[in-house]
Amino acid sequence: MKKALIIVDVQNDFCEGGALAVPGANEVIPYINALMDENEYDQIVLTQDWHPANHKSFASNNGRKVGESIILNGVPQFMWPDHCIQGTFGAEFHKDLNRDKVTHIVQKGKNVEIDSYSGFQDNNHFMKTGLDDFLKYHDIQLLEIVGLAMDYCVKFTCIDAVNSGYVTCLHFNGTRAVNVKPDNGRDAIYDMIQKGVTVLG
């Protein structure tokens, strides 16, 4: 069974000191590097939040405060601080993440009108990123998933992976949650298990 490692959004803005820093984010980088060193993956894929500066998920572009919600194209949208803007330092991958074995990069969140948590598609399920096509082209059947953040981009990437027919495993030690609400990370784990994701570690 061919397998791939999917590394979700290990970017400066989600790491320590970033615009949308995930608590404990930097702790996952050595774990992810060790996975790449100690395992043989047929493909290693990075996903990258890659927002235009006028993205509608940013509170600043809606006259709203961070933490409020609006309806965006028919679905609820949490209002985030400006983050991972195309071409900025915040959108770059963290310097400590070893990218020597990376075979593919998928950029998401490029459509100003629709947010995209999942590495597979936008939140409205209108547009695919090409990740599924890439994996199927390379006959990948098993996905191991790590990265940031567990209760948003990692969760939806895992669920879409299951729905796309992959055997899907989340490395618990390779992810951290935003926890906008204290139980978000815990609830995300329950959601993923219920959908068929295997949680390792």
Q: Given this model, what pLDDT does residue 164 score?
A: 98
Determine the structural domain holding residue 79 and report its residue range: 3-199
Residue type, 105: I
> At residue 5, does pLDDT exceed 90?
yes
For residue 60, what pLDDT is reported? 98
Burial-class residue 61 by CB neighbours within 10 Å (0-12, 13-18, 19+): middle
Just list the catalytic residues.
9, 108, 153
Structure tokens at 37: 């060193």
| pLDDT for the residue 14 | 98
pLDDT per residue as tens digits for the range 151-187: 999 999 999 999 999 999 999 999 999 999 999 999 9
Q: How many domains does the chain have?
A: 1
- pLDDT digits 0-9 by tens, 116-164: 999 999 999 999 999 999 999 999 999 999 999 999 999 999 999 999 9
pLDDT tens-digit readout, 23-69:
999 999 999 999 999 999 999 999 999 999 999 999 999 999 999 99
**Residue 101's CATH number:** 3.40.50.850
Q: Residue 117 is encoded by which pair of tokens?
A: 């948590």
* pLDDT surpasses 90 at 201: no
pLDDT for the residue numbered 181: 94
Q: How confident is the model at residue 73 (pLDDT cuts 50, 70, 90)?
A: confident
